Amino acid sequence: MTLVDMLDIVGTFAFGLSGATVAIRKDLDLFGILVLSASVGVAGGTMRDVLLGDVPPDSLKDVRLLLVASSAGLAAFFLGHRLEKLRRPVMLLDAVGLGFFAVAGCHKALTHGLPPLAAILLGVMTGVGGGVLRDMMAAEIPRVLREDVYAAAALAGAAAYAAAFHFALPLLPAAIAAIVLTVALRVGAEHFGWRLPRAPWS
């Protein structure tokens, strides 16, 4: 199993859980929950692969990803009451998915020969893709548009990983560190109220 495979599986499960949790809050039935969990779980990776010209995307070539996303939906359906005991479970799951997919997108772009800046951008797009689709399907304003440190957290994680890749550092520790950075920034922003700078005249 490659590094991208591992990152995709964990990210898919996290985003699948977040999609299913939102679906349950919207009072959807089991089918609706599975549709949202599966769609959200594979959205970021699918967009990444299409933009890289790696088609059909992994979500269609590797049945494990759809099974993982669907399993996340079933887990939320039967055990969602446990998730709801967490403080802001959707945000926490979203932060985890954001970290894993930002690094996965950046890594795959770099191994396809994209320059670092383009790879970082694709990492950010991969990271936010699932959350954007989830919010749109749930008829909500996407979090990336209404929460300051969202895409910025993915940008920091992807940039950290791209730097480690450039300097030929061990990739697994680099991926873990970049994921932790992304999750810490996302959760820290929610907990401490961090905001990006505003223009002084705005």
Where in the sequence is the domain holding 164, given as residue range(s)? 3-192
pLDDT at res. 191: 87
3-state helix, strand, coil in the chain (%, to 5): 80, 0, 20
Q: Left, alpha or beta for 76 (phi > 0: left; psi -120 to 50: alpha)?
A: alpha
Flag whether 185 is in a domain.
yes
The segments of the chain whose pLDDT lies below 70 read 202
Flag whether 197 is in a domain.
no
pLDDT at res. 13: 97
pLDDT at res. 92: 92
Query: Which residue in this structure is represented by tokens 């772009």?
Result: 109
Flag whether 142 is in a domain.
yes
pLDDT at res. 202: 61
Q: Which amino acid would we find at residue 53?
A: G
Flag whether 201 is in a domain.
no
pLDDT at res. 81: 77
pLDDT at res. 128: 96
Flag whether 73 is in a domain.
yes
Flag whether 83 is in a domain.
yes
List, for residues 52-103, the tens digit of each pLDDT value: 999 999 999 989 999 999 999 999 999 877 777 777 888 999 999 999 999 9
SS3 64: helix
Flag whether 173 is in a domain.
yes
Q: pTM value?
A: 0.94
- Structurally, how many domains does the chain consist of? 1
Flag whether 202 is in a domain.
no
In whole angstroms, how far apart are CA 52 and each of 48, 111, 112, 159? 6, 11, 8, 18
Q: Is the bond preceding residue 170 a cis peptide, omega within 30 degrees? A: no
